[in-house]
Structure 1
Amino acid sequence: MTLINVRNLGITLGAPLFSKLNLSIANGDRLGIVAANGRGKSTLLRCLNGDLEPTTGDITRIRGLRVGHVEQVVPHKLMGVAFYEAVRLALPADQIDSESWRVDIVLDSLNVPEELRQRALSKLSGGWQRLAMLARIWVTEPDVLLLDEPTNHLDLSKINQLERWINDLPRDVPLVICSHDRAFLDATTNRTLFLRPENSQIFSLPYSPARQALDEIDASEARRFQRDMKVAQQLRQQAAKLNNIAINSGSDLLTVKTKQLKQRAERLEDAARPAHQERSSGAIKLANSGTHAKVLVTLDEAAVSTPDGMLLFNSGKRWICQGDRIVLLGLNGAGKSRLVDMIRKSIIDPATSQVGVKATPSLVLGYGDQALSDLSDSSTPFNTISRRFDIGDQRVRTLLAGAGLGIDIQNKPNSILSGGQKARLGMLVLRLSNPNFYLLDEPTNHLDIDGQEALENELMAHEASCLVVSHDRSFVRAIGNRFWLIEKRRLIEVESPEEFFASFAKTA
Structure 2
Amino acid sequence: MLAGLTNVTFEFGARAIVEDATWHIQPNERIGLIGYNGTGKSTLLKLLVGQYQPSEGTVERSRGTSIGYLHQDLLSFDTSDSILQVALGAFERVMQLEKEIEELGKQLENSPTSGLSAEETDALLHKYSDRLHEMDTLDGYNIHHKTEEVLQGLGFSNADLQRPYREFSGGWRMRVLLAKMILQQPDLLLLDEPTNHLDLPSIEWLEKYLVHYQGSVVIVSHDKYFLDRMVTKIVEVYQRQLHIYNGNYSYYETEKVQRVELQQRAFENQQDYIRQQERFIERFKAKASKAAAAQSAMKRLEKLDRIEDVAIERPNIRINFQVDKVPGKVLCELKHITKKFGDNTIVEDTHAEINRGNKIALIGANGKGKSTLLRIIAGAESFTGERKWGHNVDESFYAQHQLEALDVNNTLIEEMKAAGSQKTEQELRNLLGCFLFGGDDIDKKIKVLSGGEKARVALAKTIISKANFLMLDEPTNHLDLHSVELLIDALNKYEGSLIFVSHDRYFVSKVANTIWEIDNHKIKTFDGGYEEWNEWKERQKQRAEAAGGQKAEGGNKKAEPKAEPAPKKAEPVQEAKAPVAEVKPQGPINKELKKELQKQQKVFQQLEEKIGQLNQQKTTLEAQLTAPDTYSDRNRFVQTETDYKKVSEELQRLNKQYEEVFEKIMELEAQA
| TM bucket normalised to smaller | 0.7 to 0.9
C-alpha offsets along residues 80-139 of structure 1, whole Å, 9 cap, x if unaligned? 5542343455655x6642168575254223125443334333321333312222233344
Cα contact 1:298–1:319 (8 A) shared by 2: yes
Q: Which of the residues 307, 310, 314 maps onto 1:275?
A: 310
Looking at structure 1, the residues matched to 527 and 303 of structure 2 have their Cα atoms a distance apart, in angstroms, of: 60
User: 2:347 aligned to 296, 312, 315, which one?
Assistant: 312
1:72 and 1:99 mapped to 2: Cα distance?
A: 32
Query: Which residue does the alignment assign to 1:195?
Result: 237
Contact conserved, 1:326 with 1:480, CA < 8 A, in 2? yes
**What amino acid is the match of 2:401?**
A
Q: Deviations over 1:229-277 (max 9, x none)?
A: 455456556666x37xx7xxx6345666666667766776x61212254
Work out the CA distance in 2 between the residues paired with 1:311 and 1:384: 34
Separation in structure 2 between the aligned mates of residue 103 and residue 128 of structure 1, nearest angstrom: 21
Q: Which residue of 1 aligns with 2:612?
A: none
Q: Which structure 2 residues correspond to residues 228-307 of structure 1 after superposition, within 5 A?
A: 228-229=270-271, 232-233=274-275, 236=278, 242=283, 251-253=287-289, 271-278=306-313, 280=315, 283-289=317-323, 291-293=325-327, 295-299=329-333, 301=335, 303-306=337-340
- SS of the aligned residue for 2:259 comes to helix
1:344 aligns with one of 378, 390, 395? 378
Q: Distance in 1 between matches of 2:359 and 2:424?
A: 33
Task: Please tell me whether the aligned partners of residues 437 and 466 of structure 1 are also in contact (alpha carbons under 8 angstroms).
Answer: yes
Check 1:124–1:21 CA distance in 2 against 1; reply closer, same or farther (3 A cut). Answer: same
Q: Distance in 2 between matches of 1:453 and 1:440?
A: 16
Q: How do 1:7-406 and structure 2 match up within 5 A?
A: 7-13=6-12, 14-89=14-89, 96-98=95-97, 101=140, 104-110=144-150, 111=152, 112-170=156-214, 173-229=215-271, 232-233=274-275, 236=278, 242=283, 251-253=287-289, 271-278=306-313, 280=315, 283-289=317-323, 291-293=325-327, 295-299=329-333, 301=335, 303-306=337-340, 312-313=347-348, 316=351, 318-322=353-357, 324-345=358-379, 355-361=386-392, 363-372=393-402, 375-387=406-418, 388-397=420-429, 399-405=431-437
Residues 337 and 385 of structure 2 are in contact (CA less than 8 Å); yes or no, is this contact kept in structure 1? no
Contact 1:83/1:117 (<8 A) preserved? yes
2:635 corresponding residue in structure 1:
none
The answer as to whether partners of 1:31 and 1:189 remain within 8 angstroms in 2 is yes
Q: In the superposition, relative to structure 1, how do residues 412 and 104 fare at CA in structure 2: closer, same or farther (>3 Å)?
A: farther
Which of residues 509, 529, 540 is equivalent to 1:496?
529
- Distance apart, 1:297 and its partner CA: 1.0
Q: 1:222 offset after TM fit, Å?
A: 3.2
* Aligned counterparts of 1:77 and 1:293: Cα–Cα separation in 2: 48
Q: Which runs of 5+ in 1 are unaligned?
A: 347-352
Change (3 A) 1:52 1:339: closer
Give the whole-Å Cα distance in 2 for the aligned partners of 1:260 and 1:390.
68
Structure-1 separation of matches of 2:188 and 2:479: 27
Give the letter for the 2:386 counterpart: V
Match of 2:504 in 1: 472
Contact in 2 for aligned 1:19/1:197 (Cα 8 Å): no
Question: CA 1:10–1:403 in structure 2 vs 1: closer, same or farther (change >3 Å)?
Answer: same
Matches of 1:264 and 1:436, distance apart in 2: 63
Between the aligned partners of 2:480 and 2:55, the Cα distance in structure 1 is 25
Summarize the Cα distance change of 1:284–1:296 in structure 2 as closer, same or farther, 3 Å threshold. Answer: farther
Rounded Cα–Cα distance in structure 2 between residues aligned with 1:290 and 1:220: 45
Q: Kindly provide the amino acid, as one letter, of the partner of residue 369 in structure 1.
A: A
Query: Greater CA deviation, 424-433 or 440-449?
Result: 424-433
| Structure 1 residues 196 and 255: CA distance shift in structure 2, 3 A | same
Structure with larger RCO (C-alpha < 8 A, sep 6+): 1
Letter in 2 for 1:289: V
Corresponding letter in the other structure for 2:524: L
Q: Considering only CA atoms, is the larger Rg found in Structure 1 or Structure 2?
A: 2
Distance 2:90 2:518 in 1: 40
Give the TM-score of the pair, scaled to structure 1: 0.82
- Secondary structure of 1:23's counterpart equals strand
Pick closer, same or farther for the CA change 1:168–1:49 going to 2, 3 Å: same
CA change 1:201–1:58 in 2 (3 A) is: same
Structure 1 partner of 2:615: none
For residues 123 and 48 of structure 1, what CA distance do their matches in structure 2 show? Answer: 33
Q: 28-37 or 71-80: which moved more?
A: 71-80
C-alpha distance in structure 1 between counterparts of 2:291 and 2:493, whole Å: 56
CA distance in 2 between partners of 1:200 and 1:191 (Å) = 12
Question: Secondary structure of 1:424's match?
Answer: helix
Give 2:480's match in structure 1, choosing from 436, 441, 448: 448
CA distance in 1, matches of 2:331, 2:311: 44
Distance in 2 of aligned mates of 1:43 and 1:126: 22
Q: Deviations over 1:7-44 (max 9, x none)?
A: 22332223222233332322221111111222222222
Q: Any conservation in 1 of the 2:147–2:183 contact (CA below 8 Å)?
A: no
Note if contact 2:2-2:65 (Cα within 8 Å) is conserved in structure 1. yes
- Shift in Å, 1:56: 2.5
Residue 79 of structure 1, CA deviation: 4.8
Q: Distance in 2 between matches of 1:401 and 1:176?
A: 33
Identity %: 26
Distance change (3 Å), C-alpha of 1:380 and 1:152: same
- Does structure 2 conserve the Cα–Cα contact (< 8 Å) formed by 1:33 and 1:193? yes
| CA deviation map 1:275-334 (0-9, x unaligned) | 254352x72513222544462514264524336695715554634223x32222234344
Give the stretch that moved more between structures: 423-432 or 56-65. 56-65
Deviation sequence 1:159-216 (CA, Å, 0-9, x none): 122223223433xx11111211111112221111112234422122111222221222
More helix by share: 2
Give the secondary-structure state (helix, strand or coil) at the position aligned to 2:510. Answer: helix
Residues 84, 103 of structure 1: 8 Å contact kept: no
Q: Is the 8 A contact 2:327 2:468 kept in 1?
A: no
Q: Distance in 2 between matches of 1:225 and 1:392?
A: 45
| Structure 2 contact 327–390 (Cα < 8 Å) conserved | no
Structure 1 residue 498: deviation in Å?
A: 3.7
